[in-house]
Amino acid sequence: MKLALPLGLLGLLAILALVLIYILKPKYQDKKVSSTYVWKLSLRYQKRKVPLQWLKSSLLLIIQLLIIVLIALMMSQPQVVLATKTGEKIVILEASASMQTEKDGKSRFDRAKSEISKLAESTTAEEDKFSVILAAEEASFVIRRSDSASYIKQKISEAECTFGESNIPDAMELAEGVLAENPNAEVYLYTDCEYEKTGKVTVVNMSDSEWNAAILNFSAKRVKGSFVFTAEIASYGRASEIAVSLNVDGKAKSLRLADCAENGKVSVVWDNLDITDYATADIHISADDAFAYDNDFYLFGPKSERFRVQLVGTPNSGFLFSSLYAVGTCQVDFVDIATPDKDGNFPVPATEGYDFYVYDGTYPEVIPTDGAIMLVAPPQDLPSKWGITIEGKRSGNFTFTASNGSSEAYKTIMNGITHSSIQATEYSRLKVEGYETIIQYGTGLDYDPILLVKNEGVRTAVLAMDVHMSDIAMLIDFPLLINNLCKFAMPSTVESSSFTVGQKVTVNAKVNTQLLEISAKYSAGAETQESYTEFPVELKLDAAGVFTVTQTLSTGQKVTDGYFVRIPEKESIFYQTEKTLVNPIVMNTAGSDSSVQNDTMDICIYLAAALLAFLCIEWGLQYREQY
């Protein structure tokens, strides 16, 4: 309770006047009695102890004190603080892909925005606040504690739905920040998901009996030399017979029917197509469902990209040749610079035209610029332009260990390598500048780099030892290490041909790529094209569709690759029921916003009724005492 006019409590000073009256009031009265016997009898009854006798004698005083208190309270205009504060509301709007489900030409997301605008218009008084939080993959404020109805409606109309998942817990955390300022604000969640337990959050479900035919998965597996294609089809909201069409390299294959029960799924298989290789395959379902963004699925065939590798060395380089050849994607040309031809001439290695140049015990006079480079056991006279100074060799028994780095280069080269140490009897001591150490001898600041890489300019790797002077060639991880070095030197354009909205993708370019173009054909129908001249390209995938990557090399040759981005599978599954909705934490405080006034109720009328009652009681006591 709070007082609108606290000065009204000065009326309590009347209590002092009442007490003074009782002090000055005579304590005896003249009365005539009929006989001495009656007087003595009355004295005898008076001496008996009657329970609450003091209350009987002071009841009139107590009533009069209460009357004064009630009058003083009425003068101060008391008001009771209600449980809520004004009409402040916090609205969380889910922006997941499933909120784009349409009915009668309007999506769940758009219907939710209309209802939120009506809520803001109908309940937002001049002094109220209104917040809207967009629950996308990362939650963010659309409006934070605004009291302008026109501004609120404008910002709501600008909100856009996404093709990914929603992050409700993060949205609730943002709501906690508003509740810290006004703990009694109401929280609403506009979603298309049902919750068994909603807590204090008011959940508004925007789903409206829509149905969805969905491709949950599509894959290809080689069986006995031919590819078998398998699709997983589902129907939510009704039972349906769904037609599924398959295209391989642009050619239509036999149609399949998926007979799905309501909220059920079936597998559709193409196992008699006799396809031994393919570049692209896609499936499409024909249905009049309310959600079209999961009706297509694309596959890109096995990577057939091959890299040209030139190995320059001596007859002792045969083991390196075998290791590079075993990678599978490398076409290795060996140049033996120690053996002359029949005319006595020594072969001259090429300095262009290859993706990867490997030099065993030697180095090129002209550094190739159209491919990556690896130096194995570089000679003492290595020029300074490499950024490496060789300070002699060390002989003995050495154990090399990984540097435990965290860079992408380290992760690529050491991926899957489980062997913790490499033994060697000799290595070159290197002083380097601009290189990252992957494998080393020693720890802390006092170490010698053994395997080091440089990612800027011409991508370069250096192994500071002869493979014949160590046990590295005997290790089970050595072929994997060579394979990883090839991945570092010649990365694939993309690491996979299929991604999900919300993931990140790194698009790599060949060393001699001058221009990289990414063309997108989105599931929503739009098409875009972006060009890049700096590589690699880091992209955040925020929409579903087919993406084509085209690289223009310095030779004018164009290399094409691609990948498919799908919506999260969870977004295709309609009518899910979650057990518990995570509620925002509400602190038991008054809030930090002193401008927010609590809703109150005037109780003067109730005090007036109580005052009237006490006045009647006081009059009755006065009458009884006098008469």
For the stretch 494-507, pLDDT in tens is 988 899 999 999 99
Size of the chain, expressed as the number of residues it contains: 627
DSSP code at position 36: H
Q: What is the pLDDT of residue 85?
A: 58
424 token code pair: 């060697």
| pLDDT given at position 597 | 62
Q: What per-residue confidence (pLDDT) applies to 57?
A: 59
Spatial contact of 317 and 311, defined as CB atoms under 8 Å apart: yes
pLDDT of residue 94: 97
Report the C-alpha gap between 620 and 289 in whole angstroms.
81
State the average pLDDT over residues 511-534: 92
Q: What is the pLDDT of residue 376?
A: 96
Q: How far is CA 492 from the centre of its chain?
A: 27
Element (H, E) at 18: helix 14-24
Burial (CB < 10 A; 0-12, 13-18, 19+), residue 1, is exposed
What pLDDT digit, counting tens, does each position of 583-600 carry?
Answer: 998 876 677 776 666 666
Residue 326 banded pLDDT, cuts 50, 70, 90: confident
| Residues 190-236 pLDDT 10s | 999 999 999 999 999 999 999 999 999 999 999 988 999 999 999 99
**Rounded CA separation 351/310 (Å):** 9
Q: What is the pLDDT of residues 342-375, one digit of tens each?
A: 888 999 999 988 889 999 999 999 998 888 999 9
- Cβ-count burial of 318 within 10 angstroms (0-12 exposed, 13-18 middle, 19+ buried)? middle
Cβ-contact 193, 205 below 8 angstroms: yes
Confidence band of 125 (pLDDT split at 50, 70, 90) = low
Contact 511, 459 (CB under 8 A): yes
What is the value of pTM for the model shown? Answer: 0.72
pLDDT category at 86 given cuts 50, 70, 90 is low
Supply the mean pLDDT for the chain: 88
543, pLDDT greater than 60 = yes
**pLDDT band (50, 70, 90) for residue 259:** very high
pLDDT digits (tens, 9 = 90+) for 34-63: 656 555 666 655 555 555 455 555 788 888
pLDDT at 576: 84
> How far apart, in whole angstroms, are the C-alpha atoms of residue 520 and residue 528?
5
Whether 232 contacts 216, CB under 8 Å? yes
Report the distance separating Cα 466 and Cα 472, nearest Å.
10
When mean pLDDT is compared across 294-308, 320-334, 569-583, the lowest value belongs to 294-308
Query: With the CA atoms of 471, 473, 475 and 480 taken in that order, what torsion angle do they form, in degrees rounded to the nearest 10?
Result: 140
